[in-house]
């Protein structure tokens, strides 16, 4: 997800569409989405992304107060790491591209 106002990106799991809707209501836009059959696989990927991003010295972009629905620990400023780089990393781990965008 990307937030233009914060100039930040966010990764994380959302096992229900309501979670995405909550973040969208706060100004976030879905940039890419990978679906998983098993929640444990999604959790593992989320942890791998966080470890990889933080391992490159990229700090959190936002605080808990800025994230009404949680997830501040899975944020980074777009000036610190690009969305394309994170997407490429996820593709390298999952060996698949993101799901096609959903239309209303």
Percent of the chain with pLDDT over 70: 97
* Cα–Cα dist 39/100, whole Å: 20
* Coil, helix or strand at residue 77: strand
pTM of the entire predicted model = 0.90
Q: Is the pLDDT confidence value at 104 over 90?
A: no
pLDDT in tens, 18-67: 888 999 999 999 999 999 999 899 999 999 999 999 999 999 999 999 99
Nearest to 27 by CA among 9, 7, 4: 4
* Cα–Cα dist 100/34, whole Å: 9
> Which pLDDT does position 71 carry in this prediction?
94
> Which pLDDT does position 1 carry in this prediction?
95
């Amino acid at each position: 997800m990307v937030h233009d106002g914060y100039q930040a990106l966010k990764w994380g799991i959302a096992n229900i569409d309501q979670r995405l809707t909550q973040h969208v209501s706060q100004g976030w836009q879905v940039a890419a989405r990978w679906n998983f059959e098993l929640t444990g696989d999604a959790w593992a990927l989320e942890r791998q992304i966080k470890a990889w991003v933080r391992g490159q010295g990229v700090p959190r972009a936002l605080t808990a107060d800025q994230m009404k629905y949680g997830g501040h620990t899975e944020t980074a400023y777009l000036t610190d790491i690009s969305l394309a780089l994170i997407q490429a990393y996820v593709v390298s781990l999952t060996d698949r591209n993101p799901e096609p965008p959903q239309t209303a």
